[in-house]
Structure 1
Amino acid sequence: MLAWLTYVLFALVAVMYVHSLIDCVRTPSARVRCLPKPLWLLFMLWAPILGSLTWTYFGKLPEQAKTTESGTGAGSGAREPIRA
């Protein structure tokens, strides 16, 4: 049972690490904060778990909400009323 849990934990850490690396590479330089992208990548290579968590929470600026024609945010969940 303990071996199974170890494999699951290792798989979760590996997925988080690969996702963070790909996310860092694909993020535009204008959205990166605190450090330049090459330093973020080096930090993630040097300390995979800490680097991935730090990138996820502090590495990039949040994406701006896109507005539609009606002026509501794209992710706000607001809907137009149904008119009969």
Structure 2
Amino acid sequence: MLEWLTFVLLALLAVMYVHSLIECVRTPSARIRRLPKPVWLLVMLWAPILGALAWTYFGKEPESSGTAASGTSAGSGADASIRA
């Protein structure tokens, strides 16, 4: 039982780490706070768990509330029918 829980915990940590790395690489430089992107990547490579947590909570600005609150994407054309 303990081996199974250890495996699940390690799998979750690995998924969190890979997700944070990919998110850091894909995040535009304008949304990154505190440190430059290469430094964030080095922090995550040097200390994977702490670096991933730090990136998640301190590394990026939240998305703008304009697109997140409306629930529509910018290129969906949903507003085109309203304007016409």
Taking the aligned partners of 1:27 and 1:74, their CA distance within structure 2 comes to 21
Identity in percent: 76
User: Could you tell me how far 1:66 is from its partner in structure 2?
Assistant: 1.9
Deviations 1:18-66 (A, max 9, x none): 0000000000000000000000000000000000000000000000012
Q: Where do 1:41-80 residues align within 5 Å?
A: 41-66=41-66, 73-75=69-71
Please report the TM-score for the alignment, with normalisation by the length of structure 1: 0.80
Letter in 2 for 1:10: L
Shift of 1:12: 0.3
Answer yes or no: is 1:22 the counterpart of 2:22: yes
CA RMSD of aligned residues (A): 1.0
Q: How many residues align?
A: 70
The structure carrying a bigger helix percent of its residues is 2
Structure 2 unaligned residues grouped into runs of 5+: 72-84
**How far apart in 1 are the matches of 2:8 and 2:35?**
32
The structure that has the greater radius of gyration is 1
Mark the runs of 5 or more structure 1 residues left unpaired by the alignment. 68-72, 76-84
Structure-1 separation of matches of 2:60 and 2:51: 13
User: Normalised by the size of structure 2, how large is the TM-score?
Assistant: 0.80
Paired amino acid for 2:22? I
